[in-house]
Amino acid sequence: MNAIEQGSVSTSISEGIGTIEFFHPMSNSLPGRILAELAERIKEFGQHEEVKVIILKSAGDKAFCAGASFDELIAIKDFESGKKFFSGFANVINAARKCPKFIIGRVQGKAVGGGVGMAAAVDYCFATNEASVKLSELAVGIGPFVVGPAVEHKIGISAMSQLAIDATEWRSAEWAKNNGLYSEIYDSTELMDSSIQKLAKSLSQSNPEAMSMLKSVFWEGCDHWDTLLTERAGMSGKLVLSDFTVNAINQFKKK
């Protein structure tokens, strides 16, 4: 089984709390198949009567998400394939945005590229002190086009542009909290998980209609994202075919 075929998405429901967990052996990077499953599971939980609130997390105790799968990126040979791959991130972001239930993010380690986008797409995000962030897309010749709207929506254009332009530097979890990406940060996963469960339990007993209406308020002005993110996926799909990007990805894979 090659790297593109590896990975999984699992779900569980307990006392009104739906948990979605993704895994990939390469630092929880995201091939297209995993992205499609994530979007579908979010949609399903959004309509599931037993689920009152959702927790989105990744497996393991290290990286939360290393972003796009380099193995799949380097395998892209035409524009349509590139656009389809980057649309996978768009579909996850839009699924989270449209989901009528609050999504709590659990970020236990570093988040890169699409991982930052996922942290921005949830409604309330917990993290550990190890959860530094980086938008590395420009460093490989692309740009955070698809995740950009979600990141900008959460932390503002100034902070987003800092991440996008200084694409090789990590920003600390404290920086991410100060700029609104993370709601809370903790010294350990145990402390973080305790707080996540406390909030999730409280929300599971709250008025579903009120929560849904409140979420729609949080995401006002984003109704055009279906079109916008598809256009952005096309921008990345074009750039991933360039010699610059192919060479840059190959250099990253050698590290």
Please state the domain extents for the chain. 8-189+208-254
3 state DSSP class of 124:
strand
Which pLDDT tens digit goes with each residue over 160-176? 999 999 999 999 999 99
Contact between 130 and 177 under an 8 Å Cβ cutoff? The reply is no
Three state DSSP letters for 153-205: HHHHHHHHHHHHHCCCCCECHHHHHHCCCCCEEECCHHHHHHHHHHHHHHHHC
Q: Report the mean per-residue pLDDT for the chain.
A: 95
For range 194-220, the mean pLDDT = 98
pLDDT band at 100 (very low <50, low <70, confident <90, very high): very high
CATH number corresponding to 8-189+208-254? 3.90.226.10
Adjacent-strand bridge partners of 68: 30
Average pLDDT over residues 202-222: 98
What average pLDDT does range 84-110 have in this prediction?
A: 97
Instruction: Decide if pLDDT at 195 tops 70.
Output: yes
pLDDT of residue 224: 97
Cβ pair 132, 107 in contact under 8 A? no
Long-range Cβ contacts of 5-9 (<8 Å, 24+ apart)? 5/31, 5/33, 6/31, 7/31, 7/33, 7/34, 8/34, 9/34, 9/37, 9/38, 9/41
pLDDT band at 236 (very low <50, low <70, confident <90, very high): very high
pLDDT at 251: 81
- Express each pLDDT in 143-153 by its tens digit: 999 999 999 99
Is it the case that residue 93 has pLDDT exceeding 90?
yes
Percentage above 90 pLDDT, the chain: 90
pLDDT at position 209 is 97
| Tokens 């579903």, residue located | 208
pLDDT of residue 211: 98
Identify the pLDDT of residue 1.
Answer: 63
The model's confidence at residue 255, banded by pLDDT at 50, 70 and 90, is low
